[in-house]
Structure 1
Amino acid sequence: MAVHEQSPHRAGRRPPPPGTGPAACGPTTGAPARALAGARMLMGFVFLWAFLDKALGLGYATPAGKGWADGGSPTRGFLGSVRVGPLESVFHSWAGAVWADWLFMLGLLGIGVALIAGVALRLSALAGSVMMALMWMAEWPPARHLSDGSPSMSTNPFADYHLVYAVLLAVLAAAAAGDTLGLGRTWARLPVVRDHHWLR
């Protein structure tokens, strides 16, 4: 007698939604998974280091004594010096605002910690891509020279590092890069994350 495979519907089980099965999660084992995990942690350190330097004034991008903890503003210098692009006046109005400082710093910290831990990669990719897009517009690479004739901050009119970072964040989220050398699987099993896939 032939044995027929039981349908998941007859067994009382619903098949996973399209695009959410194991094959859709990207490489979770082997060298590709480890490479993505390494890229994820390195990208997380980029964001976390930016937070620490701006918060404590470690003397790299932020001079000693000028950190957020010392009363400095992490947005005033950068946004206040914007001299090109369609959002120049908008960025000037944001420069040094308390809400902008908090949002920027919490974004750097949250994205950095999430990437290193391998959790909430979709949210991190969204928040990080928005941040990178705004920073790209603040530097406005399409403007080859500023009004006084000095070179612009970017050396490429389109594909500078802000856009590369944004694309990498999207790749890490799409490939579920937190499942290897991270807490991605544990995070995915949390009830609230199971019920809301956008938190994955």
Structure 2
Amino acid sequence: MSTRTETVVVTTSRPTRVIAATTRIALGFVYLWAFLDKLFGLGIATPREGAVLAGTSASAGYLSHTEGALSGFFRALAGNPAVDALFMLGLGAVGLALVTGVCLRLAAVGGTLVMGGIYLSSLPLDNNPIVDDHLVYILVGWLLAAIGAGSFAGLGAWWQSQPVVRDHRWLF
């Protein structure tokens, strides 16, 4: 068994760290806002009567109206309680991880699943044949995890110093 420890932090200039931290928190807020708006129906994208807490499915509104190459698959998932739970868990957990700077590798995986599903459900894309904002969110999430951006104005350095995290690098 290896006793090697790894701390993921890229030494960069102060402006780069500030930009990375700001980007991490902003991306986290994208996920957290979607979670909170769907949960409570804050009236921006989700009306109060459409909230999860009002008994509405988190996925049915979007997935039941998908069109395109994979629409049959995604329409079949619409309103499934397991899909709703996983979607909400993904939005909330990824957002919280990014805002706090902990578990960025898991956040990158979760963000890939959440945004990757939305990306695939949107195919073919309207404005660009390959890239849309969901794909960019995925790439930015992986970049932030790769550079250890949780340590920039976040709890990442503390998190990585915890014994259980040091022993399980995938928790970085």
Question: Considering the TM-score relative to the shorter chain, is it more than 0.5?
Answer: yes
Counterpart among 131, 142, 147 of residue 114 in structure 2: 131
Q: Provide the residue aligned with 1:76 in structure 2.
A: 60
Q: Provide the residue aligned with 2:95 in structure 1.
A: 112
Kindly state the Cα deviation for residue 141 of structure 1 after the two structures are TM-superposed: 3.0
Structure 2 gaps of 5+ residues are none
Q: Provide the residue aligned with 1:184 in structure 2.
A: 156
Q: Provide the residue aligned with 2:137 in structure 1.
A: 165
Counterpart among 23, 44, 61 of residue 45 in structure 2: 61
Q: Provide the residue aligned with 1:40 in structure 2.
A: 24
SS of match in other structure, 2:83 = helix
Kindly state the Cα deviation for residue 60 of structure 1 after the two structures are TM-superposed: 1.5
Structure 1 gaps of 5+ residues are 1-13, 143-153
Question: Which deviations, in whole Å up to 9, do the C-alpha atoms of 1:32-75 show, x marking residues without a partner?
Answer: 11110000000000000000111111112112211000011110
Please tell me the residue identity of whatever aligns with 1:187: W
Is the 8 Å Cα contact of residues 28 and 176 (structure 1) preserved in structure 2? Answer: no
SS of match in other structure, 2:50 = coil
Please tell me the residue identity of whatever aligns with 1:54: K
Kindly state the Cα deviation for residue 132 of structure 1 after the two structures are TM-superposed: 1.2
Is the 8 Å Cα contact of residues 165 and 171 (structure 2) preserved in structure 1? Answer: yes
Q: Which has the higher contact order (CA 8 A, sep 6+)?
A: 2
Runs of 4+ in 1 over 2 A off after TM superposition: 14-17
Percent identity, please.
Answer: 41
Kindly state the Cα deviation for residue 99 of structure 1 after the two structures are TM-superposed: 0.5
In 2, Cα distance between the equivalents of 1:15 and 1:75?
Answer: 44
SS of match in other structure, 1:82 = coil
In 2, Cα distance between the equivalents of 1:15 and 1:99?
Answer: 39
Please tell me the residue identity of whatever aligns with 2:33: W
Kindly state the Cα deviation for residue 15 of structure 1 after the two structures are TM-superposed: 9.4
Q: Provide the residue aligned with 1:10 in structure 2.
A: none
Kindly state the Cα deviation for residue 16 of structure 1 after the two structures are TM-superposed: 5.1
Q: Which has the higher helix share?
A: 2
Kindly state the Cα deviation for residue 27 of structure 1 after the two structures are TM-superposed: 3.2
In 2, Cα distance between the equivalents of 1:100 and 1:15?
Answer: 39
RMSD between aligned residues: 1.8
Question: Which deviations, in whole Å up to 9, do the C-alpha atoms of 1:134-182 show, x marking residues without a partner?
Answer: 111101134xxxxxxxxxxx31221110111011001000010010110
Please tell me the residue identity of whatever aligns with 1:113: L
In 2, Cα distance between the equivalents of 1:102 and 1:191?
Answer: 31
Tell whether 2:9 aligns with 1:25.
Answer: yes
